[in-house]
Structures are given as structure tokens and as C-alpha cells.
Amino acid sequence: MTEKSPSNTNAIGSNPWFRLMRFDRPVGIWLLLWPTWWALFMAAGGWPSLKNLAIFTLGVVVMRAAGCVINDYADRKIDPLVARTRNRPIAAGEIEPRHALLLFAGLMAIALILVLLTNPLTVLLAFFGALMAGTYPFFKRFTHLPQLVLGMAFGWSVPMAFAAETGQLPEQAWWLFSITLIWVLIYDTQYAMADREDDLKAGVKSTAILFGRFDIPIIAALMGLMSALLVLFGLRFIPEPAWFTGVALAFLMYQRQLWSIRTRDPQACFEAFLNNVWVGLVIYLGLFLSLL
């Protein structure tokens, strides 16, 4: 999942290395950061340690950048065939593939240093997370469910955050992991709907192609499932009005998204994808205010 908004003309947008890491398009950082913060604050029962907050926030930025780099490396022969992606730094010849791999290795090394500042359980979990992040881009070649792999990769920050903050993997961690997995399926399918024609030309597989004409009903079902899990999570672990208010606002946002994508217009699908940044925010605010 990589945003496709127009390139910026500022220093970040004009630098090919920054564009390769998508620093000019920070939506992906927020989408990965929200479930990480959900987990950190829930695990701590309030404010997490400043050390873990710094490690995981920086880790999100680094790992998201690494994921974008390896994605563009994996797609280096596909991107030139698609109008939307042919100007990516590797596809456009601004950065050589081997140099991109060196950057990926450097980013992964930084992530390793960060996780070594935590505890053995978190370090162990990090190796599984790195494996999923590094292999996700290749799944679109042979399965229509790369969004599922992305959901697992993004969601893996949740058990890691619990492990770092508590040294354990309690029930709450797996609830939030499951919620995050479903959330990623929702918004990355919306993204894939915006890209469906390009993906068909390039021979890339996705849930949007798999779901076909049932894409919107399936997304609606996933939204309903996620909302139900959020309500059950609140009843079980955090029965506070602020939490349910956040869940209700997220549900209303989902209704607006469904209405906007009803015609399957690519731009509307992409805007629905972007709107999920606010879904993540209202859930976080509901959690934060409840824990206060």
C-alpha cells in the first residue's frame, strides 16, 4: 500500500530518496502508527513509558519507509508499465535497484537497533514482523490476498507493543491485532479498487480483483465486523463512554465511505482510503480519553 497523491515540489518531494521512502506522502505512517499507539496506551493502561513511545513511533517511520523501498524494488519491472507508477525513483532510473536494496538494509538495521532497546520477547516478535514486511510486496504475484499479508504485517506492531510495555502477550493484544488486520483489509481493498484497472494490466493480484462485483458488500461486511469487535472489546476491557463514542464516530465515517465508493469511482475509492487516517484517530482518542 503506497499513496498515490501528486508529488510535492518541496525539498522532500523533489528528493528521489525521500520519495522512495514515501516521506512526501505520510498517510501510510499514520495508518501504521494508530494501531501501534492503540496497543501501547492500552498495554500501559494510560501513558506508556517515554522510552517505548519513542522507540515504537520512530520504528513505525523506519519500517514504513523500509516497506516502501522493498515494494518499489519488487515492482521495478511492473511500475514502468503503469502510468501512475512509472515516475517512481527506481522505475524512472533515478535510483539503481542495488542502491535501493542497500537503503532497505540500512533501514532494517536501524529498526533492529531500536528493537534491541526493548526486551527479548519483543526482539523475537520483531523477526517475524521483519519477515512479513520484507516479503509482502512479492505476494501480489501469486495470491489475490496480499492485503491479508499487509494486515498481518501492520498488525504485528500490536503484540510487539504489548510485549515491550508489559513483557507479556495478553488477550487484549490479540483482540487489537485482529481488529487491525480487518481494518487493513478494509482500507487497502479500497486502495486496490482505485488501482484495479492498472493492476489488471500489470498482472498484479489484489482483494479488489478477487472480490469483483461483490467488493462493496464485502467491504461493508468487514466494516460491520470491525465495528462489532470494537464494541465487544470495549465491553470486555474498557467500558467507558469515550471509547464507545470513538467507535460510533468510526462507524459513521464508514457509512460515509460506503456511500462515496458506491459508483466505484477510482478517485472516490482513494479518498475513502485516505479517510481511514481519521478512523484511526477517533478510535485512538476514544481509547486515550477512556484511560484518563
Q: What pTM was computed for the model? A: 0.92
Cell 522512495, located at residue? 20
Integer angstrom CA distances of residue 16 from 30, 91, 95, 214, 280: 22, 11, 7, 38, 29
Taking only the tens place, the pLDDT of each residue in 184-218 is 999 999 998 988 887 787 788 889 999 999 999 99
Question: Is the distance from CB of 64 to CB of 29 less than 8 angstroms?
Answer: yes
Task: Please state which of the four CATH numbers 3.40.1190.20, 1.10.357.140, 3.30.565.10, 3.50.50.100 is assigned to the domain occupying 11-291.
Answer: 1.10.357.140
Checking if the pLDDT of 50 tops 80, the result is yes
Checking if the pLDDT of 154 tops 80, the result is yes
How confident is the model at residue 5, as a pLDDT?
42
How confident is the model at residue 7, as a pLDDT?
44
Confidence category of residue 2, pLDDT binned at 50, 70, 90: very low
Question: Is the distance from CB of 149 to CB of 132 less than 8 angstroms?
Answer: yes
Q: Which of 108, 100, 47, 46 is nearest to 73 (CA)?
A: 100
- Domain range summary for the chain, segments of one domain joined by +: 11-291
Q: Which of 97, 20, 9, 25 is nearest to 66 (CA)?
A: 20
Confidence category of residue 75, pLDDT binned at 50, 70, 90: confident
**Range with the poorest average pLDDT among 4-8, 40-44, 258-262:** 4-8
Checking if the pLDDT of 134 tops 90, the result is no
**Range with the poorest average pLDDT among 7-21, 96-110, 243-257:** 7-21
